[in-house]
Amino acid sequence: MSDVVTAPDGIPRCPWGMESEQMADYRAYHDTEWGLPVHGDDALFERMSLEAFQSGLSWITILRRRPGFRTAFADFRIPAVARFTDADADRLLADPGIIRNRAKIAATIGNARVAAALAPGELDELIWSYAPDRADRPAPRSRDDVQPVTPESTALAKDLKKRGFRFVGPTTAYAMMQACGLVNDHLAGCHVRAAAEAAARRDGAGRSGAPGAAAG
Report residue 94's pLDDT band, with 50, 70 and 90 as the boundaries: very high
Residues with a known catalytic role: 29, 51, 59
Secondary structure of residue 13 in the 3-state scheme:
strand
- Residue 209 is predicted with a pLDDT of 37
Q: How far apart are CA 194 and CA 63, in angstroms?
A: 24
Q: How far apart are CA 155 and CA 173, in angstroms?
A: 9
Question: pLDDT digits over 158-204, tens only?
Answer: 999 999 999 999 999 999 999 999 999 999 999 999 999 999 999 87
β-sheet bridge partners, residue 81: none
Residue 214 has pLDDT above 70, yes or no: no
% of the chain at pLDDT higher than 90: 75
Where is 159: in which H helix or E strand? helix 151-163
Which residues in the chain are classed under CATH 1.10.340.30?
A: 5-38+122-206, 41-117
- Residue 16 is predicted with a pLDDT of 84
Which CATH fold topology does 5-38+122-206 show? Endonuclease III; domain 1 (1.10.340)
% of the chain at pLDDT higher than 70: 92
Q: Dihedral of CA 78/46/75/42: which sign?
A: positive
Q: How far apart are CA 156 and CA 213, in angstroms?
A: 9
Under a CB-based contact definition with an 8 Å cutoff, are residues 176 and 47 in contact? yes
Report residue 139's pLDDT band, with 50, 70 and 90 as the boundaries: very high
How many other C-beta atoms can be found within 10 angstroms of the C-beta atom of residue 188? 16
Q: Is 186 annotated as a binding residue?
A: yes
Under a CB-based contact definition with an 8 Å cutoff, are residues 32 and 66 in contact? no
Residue 211 has pLDDT above 60, yes or no: no
Residue 213 has pLDDT above 70, yes or no: no
Question: Does the predicted model carry a pTM greater than 0.75?
Answer: yes
Q: Is 191 annotated as a binding residue?
A: no
Q: Is 180 annotated as a binding residue?
A: no
Out of 91-95, 137-141, 158-162, 211-215, pick the least confident.
Answer: 211-215
End-to-end CA distance of the chain: 32
Residue 216 has pLDDT above 50, yes or no: no
Under a CB-based contact definition with an 8 Å cutoff, are residues 37 and 205 in contact? yes
For the domain made up of 41-117, the CATH class stated in words is: mainly alpha
Q: Is 14 annotated as a binding residue?
A: yes
Question: pLDDT digits over 118-131, tens only?
Answer: 999 999 999 999 99
Distances 185 to 41, 71, 110 between C-alpha atoms, Å: 23, 30, 30
Residue 64 has pLDDT above 50, yes or no: yes
